[in-house]
Amino acid sequence: MKEFQLIENFFSGRGPLRRDVLLGIGDDCAVVQPAVNKSLAISVDTLVENVHFLPAMPAADLGYKALAVNLSDLASMGAEPAWMTLALTLPEPDELWLRRFSEGLLDAAEYYGIALVGGDTTRGPKSITITVNGQVPEDKALTRGGAKAGDWIYVTGTLGDSALGLQLLQGKHDARSEHREYLIGRHYRPTPRVLAGQCLRGLASSAIDLSDGLMSDIGHVLKASGVGAVVKVEDLPLSQAMQDTVSPEFAQSLALTGGEDYELLFTVPEAQKGALETSLSQSGVKFVKIGQICAGNQLKLLKDGEPFTPENLGFEHF
């Protein structure tokens, strides 16, 4: 099958219609029209087989997740998804796999309103690279760098579910069937907090998405902002499925280090706390205060007032 036909067969003429896409897939470049008075947020993520996903991962879930992890980066900046490119490397053109992968990817694309405008398909070991473009009002992009001592620390959703879902897939735990379905779903189909991120604009002092695990990711905020933090481990939000499946200590360790939550962590000054809670509750996403920014450069974990050291379950490429 010819290279351009792969893209055309499975991805052209589908996904959301955006009037700002002047020229879609099929020429040397796509051409899109940026909105006036907005900046462009750009991010790229690669998923490699046997590194980021196992060969057994269902193709539709992989397509969904490959986009979702990129949308999570846009969410953390408060940006609205707009356009994306897909670079797909496959050992062979497996049409059934491609149909399912493209369905999952385009499901996510339609839900979040992002148009696939360009692609490249190559032969090689299976990997997926997606570059996303989002738009954010000028000077309103959220960054990791604005947290100040005294700001409150919040997270959306519940933490650790994805890591526990992976452990269920690996046969390391047992869970009731509805919990198992929920937790594996959290691993395969993360929910980027796109609307929540937009609700934080002008209110949060910093934001980041939780991809590597809370401890690792909050470290990026502390470094970029030049501050420290105290996190109360007993306040970390845990799902019922998590609580019913593992011990509290193990659940808290997963919540701190498990990774792949794709929830938002953000900080908010006391003066904006009420306005932010009002704004964010409109997004329909659960959120909870888990700690406070302080002077220094250290992260302190307290559980019922005592220092807490999690079992280290984090991961890092290279």
Q: Which is nearer to a copy of itself, 5 or 281 (CB)?
A: 5
In angstroms, what is the minimal distance from the CB of 163 to a copy of itself? 18
Q: Is 211 annotated as a binding residue?
A: yes
Q: Which is nearer to a copy of itself, 27 or 306 (CB)?
A: 27
Q: Which is nearer to a copy of itself, 41 or 222 (CB)?
A: 41
Cα angle 56-62-68, degrees, rounded to a multiple of 5:
150
In angstroms, what is the minimal distance from the CB of 245 to a copy of itself? 30
Class of residue 296 by CB neighbours under 10 A (exposed 0-12, middle 13-18, buried 19+) = middle
Q: Is 219 annotated as a binding residue?
A: no
The single-letter code of the amino acid at 241 is A
Q: Which is nearer to a copy of itself, 17 or 42 (CB)?
A: 42
CA distances from 135 to 6, 20, 107, 169, 241 (A): 29, 12, 21, 36, 36
Residue among 138, 157, 141, 147 at smallest CA distance from 272 = 147
Is 268 one of the binding residues for a copy of itself (CB under 8 A)?
no
Q: Is 73 annotated as a binding residue?
A: yes
- How many Å is the maximal CA-CA distance in the chain? 62
Binding to a copy of itself by CB under 8 A, coded x per residue (else -) over 150-169, reads: --------------------
In angstroms, what is the minimal distance from the CB of 203 to a copy of itself? 18
User: 219 in helix, strand or coil?
Assistant: helix
H or E element: which one contains 197?
A: helix 194-199
Which position among 59, 86, 236, 285 is part of the footprint of a copy of itself (CB under 8 A)?
86
Q: What DSSP designation does 35 have? A: P
- Are 268 and 146 in contact by the 8 Å Cβ rule? The answer is no
Q: Torsion angle, CA of 213/214/217/218, rounded to 10 degrees?
A: -170
- Segment near a copy of itself (CB under 8 A), from 124-132, 156-164, 226-234, 270-278? 124-132
Number of residues that bind a copy of itself (CB under 8 A): 70
Task: Name the token pair of 148.
Answer: 């100040």
- Please state the residue numbers annotated as binding site for Mg(2+): 28, 43, 45, 73, 120, 209, 212
Name the site residues for a copy of itself (rule: CB under 8 A): 1-3, 6, 22-23, 26-34, 36, 38-52, 72-74, 76-77, 79, 83, 85-87, 89, 92-93, 117-125, 127, 129, 131, 133-134, 136, 138, 141, 143-145, 208-209, 224, 316-318
